[in-house]
Amino acid sequence: MLEYSKNKSTFVLVSLLFVTLILGCGGAGIQKVVDAQFYFDRGMQHMERKDYIKAQTDFQTVIESYTASVLVDRAQFMLGESSFHNEDYITAAYEYDRVYKDYPSSIHAEEARYKRALCYYNESPKASLDQENTILAMDEFLRFLDNFPRSDFADEAQERLDELSEKLAFKEYRNAEIYRKLKKYDAAIQYYRFVIKDYPRSVWADESQYGIGVVYLKQKNYEKAKEVFQRIVSTNVSEELKNKASKKLSYIEKKTN
């Protein structure tokens, strides 16, 4: 009887351990779903408090530890947002890139593509400096407009694209002006023509036409200079530029008569 009692106690103990193990595993599974939401919500709370580093930690936890969660693509997008609001634009660009590459069907893919372009836009320096990020931003805005031509962000993307184009045009125009002042006229004309060809919608394209006329005038090539200034006067350019061209034409008249 004693032996039976001992065996029965052992059986009950083993059974209890087994049940505990099963319940423990099941509980962990349930807890895992809850935890993904918990970390995401806490990350959003950190965002509201502008504690972006802590927010990144929580969003990263969702991405790395809860890969099957429906929150993963949103957490990836918010990871980009946290870096963006922290003004770490290069990191944000990388995180946004992962959204539309890793989760192309995500509802956040479109905005992530636009925000990536915006990151490089925010990193674009003044015209006198290296314009690598300006070129990257323009490329990203163009890709965005190609992929999402009817997006709510499309008009803003086009405006920023035009703004960046003006910046690059001005950089080339400045180069032309520098060469003109150094009396390196062939190089100056080459840069003016770059502006006219590559940025025809820019105000600097009109200024470059005028610059070419000035170079011809410096070279005493009055015939070509006259041709350029007459073209400016007869086309749709600013009144200020037309007045400047008209004065040059008057000067040429005096010189050639």
Residue 157 has pLDDT above 80, yes or no: yes
In a domain? residue 245: no
The enclosing H or E element of 174 equals helix 154-181
Q: What is the pLDDT of residue 29?
A: 44
Please give the C-alpha separations between residue 82 and each of 11, 55, 117, 118, 245, in angstroms, as whole numbers.
55, 7, 16, 14, 52
Percentage of the chain exceeding pLDDT 70: 86
In a domain? residue 60: yes
Q: What is the pLDDT of residue 223?
A: 93
In a domain? residue 65: yes
Confidence of residue 128 (pLDDT cuts 50, 70, 90): low
In a domain? residue 239: no
Q: What is the pLDDT of residue 201?
A: 87
Q: How many residues does the chain have?
A: 257
Please give the C-alpha separations between residue 108 and each of 111, 114, 115, 151, 161, in angstroms, as whole numbers.
5, 10, 10, 12, 22
Report how far residue 215's alpha carbon sits from residue 23's, in angstroms, rounded to the nearest whole number.
Answer: 87
In a domain? residue 163: no
3-state SS string for 35-101 = HHHHHHHHHHHHHHCCCHHHHHHHHHHHHHHCCCCCCHHHHHHHHHHHHHHCCCHHHHHHHHHHHHH
Identify the CATH number of the domain in which residue 86 sits. Answer: 1.25.40.10
Structure tokens at 187: 């190089």
Stretch 156-165: mean pLDDT, rounded? 95
Report how far residue 18's alpha carbon sits from residue 23's, in angstroms, rounded to the nearest whole number.
Answer: 9
- Residue range 73-95, pLDDT digits in tens: 999 999 999 999 999 999 999 99
Residue 195 has pLDDT above 80, yes or no: yes
- The model carries a pTM of 0.74
In a domain? residue 233: no
In a domain? residue 99: yes
What's the mean per-residue pLDDT of the chain?
A: 88
CB under 8 Å to 1, separation ≥6 — which residues? none
Stretch 11-21: mean pLDDT, rounded? 42
Structure tokens at 188: 């100056």
Residue 36 has pLDDT above 60, yes or no: yes
- Residue range 204-244, pLDDT digits in tens: 999 999 999 999 999 999 999 999 999 999 988 899 999 99
Stretch 96-101: mean pLDDT, rounded? 96
What is the total count of domains within the chain? Answer: 1
In a domain? residue 94: yes
Report how far residue 119's alpha carbon sits from residue 94's, in angstroms, rounded to the nearest whole number.
Answer: 10
Residue 191 has pLDDT above 80, yes or no: yes
Please give the C-alpha separations between residue 7 and each of 14, 15, 17, 20, in angstroms, as whole numbers.
11, 12, 15, 20
Report how far residue 112's alpha carbon sits from residue 97's, in angstroms, rounded to the nearest whole number.
Answer: 7
Residue 19 has pLDDT above 90, yes or no: no
Are 217 and 185 within 8 A, CB to CB?
no
Domain ranges, residue 49: 19-105
